[in-house]
Amino acid sequence: MKLRFLGIIPNTPDVDSPTIWLDEDTGDLLIQSYKATEAEVKACQEIGSIPGHSTAVPDHETITRLPKVMRQYIPRSEDSTVEEPRT
């Protein structure tokens, strides 16, 4: 895995620092950020995603809250086509 540091929340203290990296082999983002609260997770589950898809969050997944200021570090693809989900 070849990771590239993309950014850390501006004016961050020494701890409690949302950070984002890019896996250059897969294009995946690795995000260190705040855990969503129980209320936020519940709200996400109430909204859902696609019809018939479970709203449960599996043990190997989590919902992370990324501060708005961190969006500047998310790479934008020049190709606007939608990729197939990885399995």
Give how far Cα 53 sits from Cα of 29, 60, 62, Å: 23, 17, 16
* Predicted local distance difference test score (pLDDT) of residue 55: 93
Each of the 87 residues of the chain gets a pLDDT tens digit; together they read 899 999 998 887 777 789 999 999 999 999 999 999 999 999 999 999 999 999 999 999 999 999 999 999 998 876 545 555 554
3-state secondary structure 29-86: EEEECEECCHHHHHHHHHHCCCCCCCCCCCCCCCCEECCHHHHHHCCCCCCCCCCCCC
User: Which DSSP letter does residue 15 get?
Assistant: S
pTM: 0.74
Contact 3, 23 (CB under 8 A): yes
